[in-house]
Structure 1
Amino acid sequence: MAHREPVVVTDEPTIGKLVVDASRDVSGLIQKEIALAKSELRVSVKAGGLSIGLFAGAAFLGLLAIIMLSVAIAHFISFTGLDLAWGFLIVFFLYVLLAGLLAFVGLKKVKKVRPPEKAIGQAKAIPGAFKGKS
């Protein structure tokens, strides 16, 4: 009869079990990180939406303030002896002049805009680099 070695049972996990446990833990960690990112984004989106609403309200009130200022300027002009209608026309032409000045300056700035020539040159060189050309 052949002599057999006794089988020793150890509590150490096998490599396969370790790999399965590690992949499960990594998967759970990634899922929890995604959930955390989603919750942070929800808070940021809510704050961003509220901010946009507040900016829109401020812009609307600013527009109303400009209208009221325009009416006040027209009335102050009418105190010089001109009719109120002339005061409103003067304010209107001041706004048209200001709009024309802003458009002129904006047009000069737009004409200075140039395409990104260095980036375009590098982008054109990329296909050659993949083909092994310098």
Structure 2
Amino acid sequence: MTDTPSEQKAANTSLGDLLGEVTRDLSTLMRQELELAKAELKQSAAQAGKSAGMFAGAGYAGHLTVLFLSIAAWWGLGYLLGNGWSALIVAVVWAIVGFILYSRGRGELKKVKGAPQTVDTLKEFPDTLKRNEENR
């Protein structure tokens, strides 16, 4: 029977040397995996940044669209009612929209609970430490 090269190496090398080699190999593997993860995260972050920039541009374009539609509504109503009244009507419509959005946003914000389980767990720490001190 012929031994494979790894069997021959195992037979001729001490256990400590073999464990050291395995540890070095694992360490190298872990470093390589971390470098791969860093590279992937860097690429993902760059893509997310580009997407965020595009969303910001879309938001700005949407804002300009609403602005110019509001001006068009103001002018359109101005032919019927006069510019002063038409401006007031457009402003009141936007005030109503703003109030509705504010009210809904405030209601949603009140529903936010944060991290209740974490807070409860952290509140138990002092009691646990007191019990451990009493048991000593």
Fold in common (TM above 0.5): yes
Does residue 106 (structure 1) correspond to residue 105 (structure 2)? The answer is yes
What is residue 27 of structure 1 aligned with on the other side? Answer: 27
Aligned twin of 2:90 = 91
Structure 1: 5+ residue stretches without partners: 1-9
- Alignment deviations for residues 21-48 of structure 1 (CA, whole Å, 9 cap, x no partner): 1111011101100110011011101101
User: Could you tell me which residue of structure 2 aligns to residue 78 of structure 1?
Assistant: 78
Q: Separation in 2 of the partners of 1:67 and 1:34? A: 49
Tell me the alpha carbon deviations over residues 67-105 of structure 1, each in whole angstroms, 9 at most, x when there is no partner: 1110121122124x2123322221012112221233234
Please state how far the C-alpha of 1:107 moved relative to its aligned partner. Answer: 3.6
Q: TM-score, normalised by structure 1?
A: 0.75
Distance 2:81 2:123 in 1: 66
CA RMSD of aligned residues (A): 2.7
SS in 1 for 2:12: coil
Shift of 1:109: 4.4
CA–CA distance in structure 1, aligned partners of residues 96 and 23 of structure 2:
69
User: What runs of 5+ residues in structure 2 fail to find an aligned partner?
Assistant: 1-9
Partner of 2:42: 42
Distance 1:66 1:31 in 2: 52
Identify the structure with the greater helix proportion. Answer: 2
Report the Cα distance in structure 2 between the residues aligned to 1:37 and 1:51, rounded to whole angstroms: 21
**1:36-70 alpha-carbon deviations (Å, 9 max, x no partner):** 00110111011011011000000000000001110
Distance in structure 1 (CA, Å) of the matches to 2:74 and 2:22: 77
Give, in whole Å, the separation in 2 of the partners of 1:60 and 1:28: 48
The verdict on how the C-alpha distance between 1:58 and 1:35 changes in structure 2, with shifts beyond 3 A counting, is: same
AA partner of residue 103 (structure 2): F
Number of equivalences = 123
Q: Secondary structure at the match of 2:81?
A: coil
- Distance in structure 1 (CA, Å) of the matches to 2:117 and 2:26: 43
Q: Evaluate the alpha carbon distance shift between residue 107 and residue 32 of structure 1 in structure 2; reply closer, same or farther with a 3 A threshold.
A: closer
2:89 counterpart letter in structure 1: I
Name the TM-score, length of structure 2 as normaliser: 0.74
